[in-house]
C-alpha cells in the first residue's frame, strides 16, 4: 500500500513537472502570465514530498514489504537514524535530491514578478525539465517502492558508518541544497542565452538563489569534513577523494560567480563570463552526480553501481550539447562594450579578475586529477593514481595567490592607477604578513607553512585596516560588503586551521598492554583497561585511556570499535577532546582477544577547531549577504558601495 | 611623499623576508612524521583509493612498517618511493609519474594559470567601446530552439542506449575487476579447473566427464579438447583419439606440440606405423617439453 | 574581418558540441564496460626479492640464491579464510614434488601460536614457514593481499604470480613450465 502511494506520487510529480515545463515555455514564448506554471509546480512539490513521506512512513513503521526498507531498515536502528537512512543508499538519496530540486522549482515558479520576468519563465522551464528527468530516473530506474515477497521480519539496517553520527541528518541535505541549487543560476543562464538579455535584471535574479546554494554548499562541505574527522579514525578531514572533489568543484565556480557578479553590478563587464560560470557550475555538479552514482570511481563515499550511470551520462552530455548549441547561436553577436577604461594593475577590478582566474585554475586542476584516471583507465587500461601529493603540490600555491589577492583586493581603488593610494592599501597587510612569516619561520616551520600563515595574517590585517579606516571616516559599509568581509575572515581562519593542523600535527601509534603509556607532544595516554559491551545493533570494545600532561590532564577517554553483525562491518569510534588550541585525538585500531591490550593511535592536532569555525564564518557571511526582500524596483546597494570606496 | 616612504619600506621588508626564508632552517621531521608523510603518498593496493597512511588494512600496516624501517636505515623519500614502484607498479604512488599521460596532469594547471593571467592582463588594457550595446539583442528564433530541443532529446536517448547495449551482463568481468585476495576456486569453479583437479588426482574416468562439460563451456578451447583426448587415451579409448586430435595437431599454435604428443601416443597404442613420425614431429615442435625425455627413451627403445 | 571571427566562433561552438557528444558516446561504450587487466605485473620476469627470516621451527633462512630449481613461494596468514583452504593443497603439493622443486611459505602479520595451530589442524606441520610478523617480507614481494603465490625459476626470476588461492593443478603446470631442462 505504501509502495503504491509512493509510486503514484512520483508519477504525479513527474507529470506535474512536465506540465510546469510546458506552461513555462508557453509563457516564455508568448509572454502571457500562466498561473498553470505556479500551481503545477506546487503540485509537483506536494507529490514529491508525499513520496518521500511514504518512504519515511514505511521506514518508521518497519514495513519490510517495501524494497528500500527491506534493504535498509531495521527494528534496532534508533528513530533518528531510521529517518536519515532514506539517504544512506542510492535509491533513497535520489528521492531526497528530487525533493530539494522540486522545492527550488516551486519557489522559483512562485516568485513574485520582478524586472526579469521573461528570464524567469525560461529558467522555470529549464529547471522543470531537469526535475522531470530526475523524477523519471527515480520512477523508472529506482527500486525504492518495489514490493518484496515473502516479507522479511527484519532488515540489515543502514550502513553502520552512516548511522553512527548525528551529522548524517544534516550533511547530505545541506550538500544537496547546495549542489541542486546551482540549477537555478543555470536555468537563468540558459534563459539569458535564449532571450539575449543578461543585464542587471539577470544579475538581480541570480544573486539570491546563488547565495542560497553557495551558503548551503559551504556549510555542507565543511560539515562533511568535520564528520570525516570525527568518525573515520585516522584523524583526517579531506583526502581529495573523487567524490569529495565533486562537491568542491561546483563550490569553486560558484565562489567565482559570486565575485564576478560584484564586477557585473559595478561595471556591466564580464557578462558572458558570468554566464559561462553559471553554466559550468551546474555542469560540474552534474559530473559529480555521474561519478558518484555510476560506480566508476572507487571511493568510500560513492554508491555502488546502480545501473543509473549511462542515463546520467546521457543527461550530462545532452546538457553540454544544448548549451554549446545555444552559445554557438549567440556567438555571432558582437561582444558587449568593455568597462570604463583601463584598470590599473593594482586595482580592485584586477583583483577580482585574478580571483576568478585562480578559482577556475584550481577547479581545472581538481577536475583533471579526478577525471583523468577514469578516462585513461577506460580508454587504455593504464592505471593512474592521483591523490593528495598531486593536489597539495598544485593547489596550495594557487590558494596562496588567492589569499594574497584577498588580502589587498577589497581595499584597492576600483580602477584608477592611484599609486599612492595603492601603496597605502597594501602596506598594512603586507607588513603584518611579513612579521608573521618571519616569526613563524624563526619558530622552526617550513617555508610553505610560514608563507601561508603570513598571508592569512595579511588578510586579517587588511580587514582590520579597512574597518579602522571606515570608523575614522564615519562611513557605514553596505550589508553585502560586510557579509563579504565576514566570509573572507572565515577563509583566513579556515586556512590557518588547515595549515597548523597539517604542519604541526603529531601522531604516534603503538601496541599497548594494560598499564603501558603512549606519549605525543606532551600528552600521555595510559591504557587502564579494555571495555566490552553490546547493544541491540552492535558489539563494541573500547580502550580506556587516562590522559595526563597537557590541557586535558586527568581526562579519561574511551575510543573504541563497533562491530555490526547484521552488516559484517566495523566502525571506528575515536575519542576527540577539542579545545581552541587544538585537539587530542585517540583512536583504537585493534584490541587483543583476551582484553590485555590494544593498539592505540594518539594524535595531537593543533588548531583543528579553527577549520570548523572558519567554515562557519564563511557560511555566516553567505547568510548575511542575502538580498533584502524586493521593494518595487529600487536599485539597492551601489550607492553605499561607492561611498565606502570613494575617498 | 609618505607613499614613497611606505613603498620603500615595503620593498625593504620583502627583501628581508626573503632573506629570512632563505637563511633559516625548516623543521627536522622525526622518522614517525616522515613515515606518515611518505605513507600518505602511497596508495593502499587493496583498499579503494585510500592512502597507506589512512587505511588500517593489514597490508597498509605492513607497508607502513616497511617505510619506517627504510627511512630509519637512511634511505631518502625518493628511494623509498622507487622501491615501492618496483614492486607494485607506478600506480602505487599517489601522484602521476611524469611519463605517459601523467605529464598532462603536471603541465595543464600551470599552463591554465598562465593563460588566464595573460588574458586578464590583456583585457584590462582594452580601450572602452563607445556607447552602449548596439540595440537590444534579439531572442533566438524558434528554429534554433527546436534544434536545441532535438539535440537534447537525441543525445539524451542515444548515449544511455549505446552504453547499455555494450554493458556486460555476465558477472565474470565484475569478478575480474574485484580485489585480489578473493578466492576464485571457492565459488563456482570452472569445469576445466574441476577436470584438471580430477586429472591431478588420477581419476581419469571422472575427469573425462568433466572435460566433456568443459568443452561445452569453452567450445573454442584447443587445450580443453587436447586434454579430453588425453583422457580418452588414458581410459583405453585410444581408437577415438586420432580423428579427434588430428586437426589440432595441424594448426599452428602453442597447443600443437601437446596435440602431437597425444596423437603420437594414441597411434603407438593402436600400432599404427605413423606413430614414430608423429612423435618425432612432437620432439621437433617442443624439444623442451617435460615429456620429451620420456618420448626420446620410447623412440630409442624401439 | 570581424565577421569572419564571429562565424569562426559559431563553428567552434558547434564543433565542440559534436566532439563532446562523440567522446561521450565512445567513453560510454568503454567506461561502463568492465576493463580487463592491462597493467603488467611489476614482479613477473624480474629478479625475485630475497627471503630472510626465521622459520617456525627456529631455523634461520637466508634465501638469496635460487640455484636449486623451481621454487614456489606462498604467502599466507592464519586469519585469512582462503589461506586456510589453500594450505592443505600446498602441503600435498610439497610432499609430492620432486627434488628439483622447493616450496617455501611466508606467514605474514601473524603470531607463531596461531600459525602452528592452523598447520596442525590442516595436517601441514611439515611445511617450511618463514615468519613475517611485521609484514615486510610480503611487501617486499609486492603482495596485494593474502594468499598470494609466486613461482621462481632456477635463475632466480619470478615467473608467475597468482593472486588468490591456487590449486595443485596450477602449481604443477607452472612447475612443469619453468623447471630447468
C7-16 pLDDT, tens digit per residue, is 777 788 888 8
CA–CA dist B192, C72 (Å, integer): 23
> Residues A518, A591: one domain?
yes
CA–CA dist A402, A485 (Å, integer): 15
CA neighbor of A70 nearest in space, from A82, A80, A81, A62: A62
Cell 613475517 belongs to which residue? C132
Which stretch of A521-525, B53-57, B84-88 has the lowest confidence by average pLDDT?
B53-57
DSSP A137: I
pLDDT digits (tens, 9 = 90+) for A552-567: 888 899 999 998 887 7
Whether the predicted pLDDT of A13 surpasses 70: yes
Whether the predicted pLDDT of A409 surpasses 50: yes
Q: Give the pLDDT confidence score for residue A638 in this predicted structure.
A: 43
CA–CA dist A204, A633 (Å, integer): 11
C113 touches chain A (CB under 8 A): no
Whether the predicted pLDDT of A194 surpasses 60: yes
C16 touches chain B (CB under 8 A): no
> Residues A252, A314: one domain?
yes
Average pLDDT in the C101-112 region? 89
The residue from B95, B125, B149 where one domain ends is B95
With respect to residue B152, please indicate whether it lies within any of the assigned structural domains: no
Instruction: Report chain B residues whose CB lies below 8 A from the CB of C163.
Output: 180-181
Cross-chain CB nearest to A507 (options B36, B102, B109) = B36
With a pLDDT cut of 70, the percent of chain B lying above it is 82
- pTM comes to 0.83
Q: Do C144 and B46 touch (CB under 8 A)?
A: yes
Q: Give the pLDDT confidence score for residue A60 in this predicted structure.
A: 94
With respect to residue A97, please indicate whether it lies within any of the assigned structural domains: yes
CA–CA dist A80, A57 (Å, integer): 13
With respect to residue B205, please indicate whether it lies within any of the assigned structural domains: yes
Q: Give the pLDDT confidence score for residue B140 in this predicted structure.
A: 82
> Residues A33, A125: one domain?
yes
Q: Is C151 helix (H, G, I), strand (E, B) or coil?
A: strand
pLDDT digits (tens, 9 = 90+) for A580-621: 888 999 999 888 878 888 889 999 999 999 999 999 999 999
With respect to residue A354, please indicate whether it lies within any of the assigned structural domains: no
> Residues A453, A574: one domain?
no
CB atoms within 10 A of CB B4: 11
Domain containing A597 — which CATH number?
2.60.98
Q: Give the pLDDT confidence score for residue B178 in this predicted structure.
A: 33
Instruction: Report chain C residues whose CB lies below 8 A from the CB of A381.
Output: 35-39
With respect to residue B285, please indicate whether it lies within any of the assigned structural domains: yes
Q: Give the pLDDT confidence score for residue A219 in this predicted structure.
A: 97
Q: Which domain holds residue A131?
A: 1-164
Cross-chain CB nearest to B62 (options C42, C136, C165) = C136
CA–CA dist A15, B157 (Å, integer): 19
C19 touches chain A (CB under 8 A): no
> How far does the CA of residue B56 sit from the closest CA of chain C (Å)?
13
CA–CA dist A232, A249 (Å, integer): 23
With respect to residue A632, please indicate whether it lies within any of the assigned structural domains: no
> Residues A492, A620: one domain?
yes
Number of domains in chain A: 4
Q: SS3 string of A558-574?
A: CCEEEEECCCCEEEEEC
CA–CA dist A432, A157 (Å, integer): 54
With respect to residue A340, please indicate whether it lies within any of the assigned structural domains: no
Whether the predicted pLDDT of B172 surpasses 50: no
Alpha carbon distance, N-terminus to C-terminus of chain A: 70
Residue-level length of chain B = 302
> Residues A227, A279: one domain?
yes
The residue from B69, B95, B121 where one domain ends is B95
Instruction: Report chain C residues whose CB lies below 8 A from the CB of B177.
Output: 34-35
* A624: exposed, middle or buried (Cβ count in 10 Å: 0-12, 13-18, 19+): middle
ipTM over 0.90: no
The residue from A130, A164, A198 where one domain ends is A164
CA–CA dist A316, A134 (Å, integer): 12
The residue from B95, B117, B139 where one domain ends is B95
Number of domains in chain B: 2
> Residues A540, A407: one domain?
no
Whether the predicted pLDDT of A354 surpasses 90: yes
Whether the predicted pLDDT of A644 surpasses 60: no
Which stretch of A121-125, A375-379, A404-408, A526-530 has the lowest confidence by average pLDDT?
A375-379
With respect to residue B230, please indicate whether it lies within any of the assigned structural domains: yes
Q: Give the pLDDT confidence score for residue A155 in this predicted structure.
A: 84
With respect to residue A361, please indicate whether it lies within any of the assigned structural domains: no
With respect to residue A633, please indicate whether it lies within any of the assigned structural domains: no
Chain C residue with minimal CA distance to B173? Answer: C34
C-alpha cell read off for C126: 611439515
Q: Do A381 and C10 touch (CB under 8 A)?
A: no
With respect to residue B86, please indicate whether it lies within any of the assigned structural domains: yes
> Residues A236, A132: one domain?
no
> Residues A15, A116: one domain?
yes
pLDDT digits (tens, 9 = 90+) for A195-237: 888 888 899 999 999 999 999 999 999 999 999 999 887 778 9
Mean pLDDT across chain C, nearest whole number? 82
With respect to residue B108, please indicate whether it lies within any of the assigned structural domains: no
Whether the predicted pLDDT of B134 surpasses 60: no
> Residues A532, A568: one domain?
yes
Domain containing B33 — which CATH number?
1.10.8.640
Task: Between A42 and A296, name the one with better pLDDT.
Answer: A42
> Residues A484, A444: one domain?
yes
Res. B190 pLDDT band, cuts 50 70 90: low
Mean pLDDT across chain A, nearest whole number? 88
> Residues A585, A618: one domain?
no
With respect to residue B160, please indicate whether it lies within any of the assigned structural domains: no
C35 touches chain A (CB under 8 A): yes
Task: Between C176 and A258, name the one with better pLDDT.
Answer: A258
Q: Which domain holds residue B79?
A: 28-95
Q: Give the pLDDT confidence score for residue A338 in this predicted structure.
A: 57
Amino acid at each position: 500500500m505504501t509502495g503504491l502511494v509512493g509510486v503514484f506520487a512520483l508519477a504525479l510529480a513527474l507529470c506535474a513537472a512536465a506540465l510546469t515545463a510546458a506552461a513555462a515555455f508557453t509563457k516564455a514564448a508568448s509572454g502571457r502570465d500562466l498561473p498553470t506554471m505556479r500551481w503545477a509546480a506546487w503540485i509537483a512539490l506536494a507529490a514529491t514530498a508525499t513520496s518521500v513521506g511514504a518512504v519515511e512512513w514505511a521506514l518508521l513503521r518497519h514495513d519490510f514489504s517495501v524494497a528500500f526498507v527491506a534493504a535498509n531498515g531495521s527494528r534496532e536502528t534508533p528513530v533518528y537514524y531510521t529517518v536519515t537512512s532514506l539517504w544512506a543508499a542510492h535509491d533513497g538519496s535520489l528521492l531526497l535530491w528530487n525533493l530539494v530540486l522540486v522545492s527550488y522549482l516551486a519557489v522559483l515558479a512562485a516568485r513574485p514578478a520582478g524586472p526579469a520576468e521573461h528570464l524567469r519563465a525560461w529558467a522555470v522551464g529549464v529547471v522543470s525539465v531537469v526535475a522531470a528527468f530526475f523524477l523519471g530516473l527515480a520512477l523508472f530506474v529506482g527500486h525504492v517502492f518495489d514490493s518484496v515477497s515473502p516479507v522479511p521480519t527484519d532488515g540489515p539496517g543502514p550502513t553502520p558508518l552512516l548511522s553512527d553520527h548525528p551529522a548524517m541528518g544534516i550533511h547530505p541535505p545541506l550538500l544537496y541544497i547546495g549542489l541542486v541549487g546551482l540549477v537555478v543560476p543555470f536555468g537563468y543562464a540558459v534563459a539569458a542565452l535564449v532571450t539575449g538579455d543578461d543585464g542587471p535584471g539577470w544579475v538581480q535574479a541570480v544573486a539570491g538563489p546563488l547565495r542560497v546554494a553557495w551558503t548551503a554548499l559551504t556549510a555542507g562541505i565543511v560539515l562533511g569534513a568535520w564528520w570525516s574527522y570525527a568518525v573515520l579514525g585516522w584523524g583526517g578531514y579531506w583526502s581529495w577523494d573523487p567524490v569529495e572533489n565533486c562537491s568542491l568543484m561546483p563550490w569553486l565556480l560558484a565562489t567565482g560567480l559570486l565575485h564576478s557578479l560584484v564586477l557585473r553590478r559595478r561595471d556591466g563587464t564580464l557578462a558572458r563570463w558570468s554566464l559561462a560560470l553559471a553554466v559550468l557550475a551546474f555542469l560540474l555538479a552534474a559530473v559529480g552526480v555521474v561519478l558518484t552514482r555510476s560506480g566508476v570511481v572507487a571511493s568510500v563515499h560513492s554508491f555502488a553501481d546502480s545501473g543509473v550511470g549511462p542515463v546520467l551520462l546521457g543527461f550530462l552530455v545532452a546538457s553540454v550539447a544544448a548549451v554549446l548549441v545555444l552559445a554557438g547561436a549567440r556567438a555571432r553577436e558582437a561582444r558587449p562594450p568593455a568597462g570604463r577604461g583601463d584598470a590599473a594593475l593594482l586595482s580592485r577590478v584586477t583583483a577580482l579578475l585574478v580571483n576568478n582566474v585562480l578559482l577556475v585554475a584550481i577547479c581545472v586542476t581538481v577536475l583533471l586529477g579526478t577525471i583523468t584516471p577514469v578516462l585513461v583507465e577506460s580508454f587504455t587500461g593504464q592505471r593512474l593514481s592521483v591523490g593528495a601529493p598531486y593536489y597539495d603540490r598544485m593547489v596550495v600555491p594557487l590558494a596562496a595567490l588567492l589569499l594574497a589577492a584577498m588580502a589587498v583586493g577589497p581595499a584597492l581603488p576600483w580602477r584608477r592607477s592611484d599609486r599612492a593610494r595603492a601603496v597605502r592599501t597594501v602596506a598594512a597587510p603586507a607588513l603584518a604578513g611579513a612579521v608573521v612569516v618571519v616569526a613563524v619561520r624563526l619558530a622552526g616551520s617550513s617555508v610553505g607553512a610560514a608563507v601561508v600563515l603570513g598571508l592569512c595574517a595579511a588578510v586579517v590585517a587588511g580587514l582590520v585596516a579597512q574597518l579602522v579606516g571606515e570608523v575614522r571616516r564615519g562611513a557605514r559599509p553596505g550589508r553585502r560588503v560586510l557579509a563579504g568581509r565576514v566570509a573572507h575572515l572565515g577563509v583566513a581562519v579556515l586556512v590557518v586551521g588547515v595549515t597548523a593542523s597539517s604542519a604541526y600535527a603529531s601522531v604516534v601509534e603503538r601496541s599497548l598492554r594494560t598499564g603501558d603509556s603512549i606519549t605525543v607532544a606532551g600528552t600521555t595516554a595510559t591504557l587502564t583497561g579494555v571495555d566490552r559491551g553490546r547493544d541491540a545493533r552492535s558489539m563494541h570494545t573500547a580502550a580506556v585511556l587516562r590522559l595526563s600532561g597537557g590541557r586535558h590532564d586527568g581526562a579519561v577517554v574511551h575510543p573504541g570499535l563497533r562491530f555490526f553483525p547484521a552488516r559484517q562491518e566495523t566502525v571506528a569510534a575515536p575519542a576527540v577532546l577539542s579545545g581552541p588550541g587544538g585537539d587530542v585525538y585517540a583512536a583504537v585500531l585493534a584490541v587483543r582477544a583476551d582484553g590485555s591490550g590494544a593498539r592505540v593511535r594518539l594524535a595531537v592536532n593543533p588548531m583543528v577547531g579553527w577549520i570548523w569555525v572558519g567554515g562557519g564564518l564563511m557560511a555566516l557571511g553567505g547568510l548575511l549577504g542575502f538580498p533584502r526582500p524586493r521593494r518595487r524596483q529600487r536599485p539597492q546597494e551601489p550607492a553605499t558601495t561607492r561611498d565606502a570606496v570613494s575617498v | 611623499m609618505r607613499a614613497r616612504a611606505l613603498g620603500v619600506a615595503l620593498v625593504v621588508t620583502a627583501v628581508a623576508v626573503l632573506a629570512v626564508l632563505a637563511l633559516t632552517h625548516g623543521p627536522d621531521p622525526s622518522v614517525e612524521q616522515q613515515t606518515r608523510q611518505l605513507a600518505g603518498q602511497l596508495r593502499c593496493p587493496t583498499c579503494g583509493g585510500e592512502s597507506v597512511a589512512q587505511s588500517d588494512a593489514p597490508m597498509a600496516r605492513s607497508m607502513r612498517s616497511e617505510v619506517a624501517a627504510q627511512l630509519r636505515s637512511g634511505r631518502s623519500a625518493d628511494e623509498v618511493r622507487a622501491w615501492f614502484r618496483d614492486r607494485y607498479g607506478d600506480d602505487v604512488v599517489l601522484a602521476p609519474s611524469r611519463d605517459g599521460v601523467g605529464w598532462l596532469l603536471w603541465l595543464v594547471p600551470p599552463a591554465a594559470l598562465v593563460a588566464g593571467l595573460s588574458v586578464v592582463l590583456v583585457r584590462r588594457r582594452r580601450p572602452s567601446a563607445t556607447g552602449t550595446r548596439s540595440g537590444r539583442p534579439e531572442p533566438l528564433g524558434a528554429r534554433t530552439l527546436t534544434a536545441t530541443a532535438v539535440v537534447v532529446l537525441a543525445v539524451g536517448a542515444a548515449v544511455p542506449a549505446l552504453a547499455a547495449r555494450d554493458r556486460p551482463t555476465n558477472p565474470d568481468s565484475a569478478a575480474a575487476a574485484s580485489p585480489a585476495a578473493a578466492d576464485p576456486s571457492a565459488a563456482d569453479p570452472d569445469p576445466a579447473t574441476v577436470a584438471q583437479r580430477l586429472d591431478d588426482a588420477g581419476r581419469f574416468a571422472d575427469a573425462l566427464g568433466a572435460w566433456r562439460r568443459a568443452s561445452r563451456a569453452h567450445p573454442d578451447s584447443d587445450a580443453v579438447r587436447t586434454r579430453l583426448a588425453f583422457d580418452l587415451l588414458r581410459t583405453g579409448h585410444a581408437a577415438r583419439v586420432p580423428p579427434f586430435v588430428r586437426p589440432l595437431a595441424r594448426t599452428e599454435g602453442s597447443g600443437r606440440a601437446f596435440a602431437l604428443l597425444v596423437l603420437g601416443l594414441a597411434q603407438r597404442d593402436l600400432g599404427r606405423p605413423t606413430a614414430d613420425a608423429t612423435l618425432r614431429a612432437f620432439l621437433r615442435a617442443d624439444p623442451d617439453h617435460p615429456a620429451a625425455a620420456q618420448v626420446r627413451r620410447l623412440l630409442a627403445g624401439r | 574581418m570581424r565577421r569572419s571571427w564571429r562565424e569562426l566562433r559559431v563553428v567552434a561552438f558547434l564543433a565542440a558540441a559534436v566532439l563532446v557528444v562523440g567522446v561521450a558516446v565512445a567513453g560510454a561504450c568503454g567506461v561502463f564496460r568492465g576493463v580487463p587487466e592491462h597493467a603488467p605485473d611489476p614482479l613477473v620476469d624480474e629478479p625475485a626479492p630475497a627471503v630472510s627470516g626465521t622459520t617456525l621451527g627456529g631455523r634461520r633462512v637466508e634465501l638469496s640464491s635460487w640455484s636449486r630449481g623451481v621454487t614456489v613461494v606462498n604467502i599466507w596468514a592464519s586469519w585469512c579464510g582462503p589461506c586456510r583452504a589453500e594450505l592443505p593443497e600446498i602441503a600435498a603439493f610439497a610432499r609430492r614434488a620432486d627434488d628439483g622443486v622447493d616450496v617455501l611459505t611466508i606467514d605474514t602479520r601473524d603470531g607463531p601460536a596461531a600459525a602452528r595451530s592452523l598447520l596442525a589442524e590442516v595436517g601441514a606441520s611439515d611445511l617450511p614457514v618463514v615468519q613475517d610478523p611485521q609484514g615486510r617480507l610480503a611487501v617486499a614481494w609486492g603482495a596485494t593481499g593474502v594468499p598470494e603465490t609466486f613461482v621462481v625459476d632456477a635463475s632466480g626470476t619470478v615467473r608467475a604470480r597468482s593472486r588468490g588461492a591456487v590449486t595443485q593443478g596450477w602449481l604443477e603446470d607452472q612447475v612443469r613450465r619453468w623447471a630447468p631442462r
